[in-house]
Amino acid sequence: MATKGDATRQKIIAEATRLMQQNGFEATSMSDLVNATGLQKGCLYFHFQGKDDLLAAVLEKAKADFLLLVDGALSGKTPGERLDNFLKEVLDYQRNQGIDCGCIFGNTAVEMSNKDKRIAAFVRDLFDQWTGKIRKVVKAAQQAGQVTVDIPADVLARHIIMSLEGGIMLSRLEKDEKPLKDCLTALRVVIGLKK
């Protein structure tokens, strides 16, 4: 059973995630978190030594949640169906998060990769894990004749992720899901997806 302290910590992480996803890490202050959580600043510092410590906790939680989401989305009877379900889940996830929030990992990579090597390494590792999960399904789909074999599975998996990140970024910029929907439509054609 979660303690009151655990619940408070999770509340801080949830609000920090929301604020950092909307405004970025550097633009989110501890005062912003005080206002969002209704907690005293001392309470924030009781749970987190500072913003860097909080960012690490936000990213760890987001990574765990995201990898579970990917695993759940890569379901279906055939590899092609698993890829298609994953693409559908990306759009649903972005809609639920708020299309104008983007991807917390992509946002953080753009903002922090040249400023903090630890954060850059963390995000790189997340993208490597994500790519590995997609690559495995792509390879199976290639063997089943459900996606193109003209591009190696590892290259195709990275292309899928790079395309998704671009679609997510443009949807955030335009505050409209159309760029991401267009990306998903084009991806299905480019990879020759057959379910």
Question: Tokens 């290259």 label which residue?
Answer: 155
Q: What is the pLDDT of residues 79-123, one digit of tens each?
A: 999 999 999 999 999 999 888 888 899 989 888 888 888 888 999
pTM: 0.90
Calculate the average pLDDT of the chain: 93
Please, which pLDDT band fits residue 2 given cuts at 50, 70 and 90?
low
Q: What is the mean pLDDT of residues 38-59?
A: 90
Q: What is the mean pLDDT of residues 150-174?
A: 96
Domains annotated for the chain, with CATH where assigned, are 4-190 (1.10.357.10)
Alpha-carbon distance values, 103 to 18, 100, 108, 140 (Å): 11, 9, 8, 27
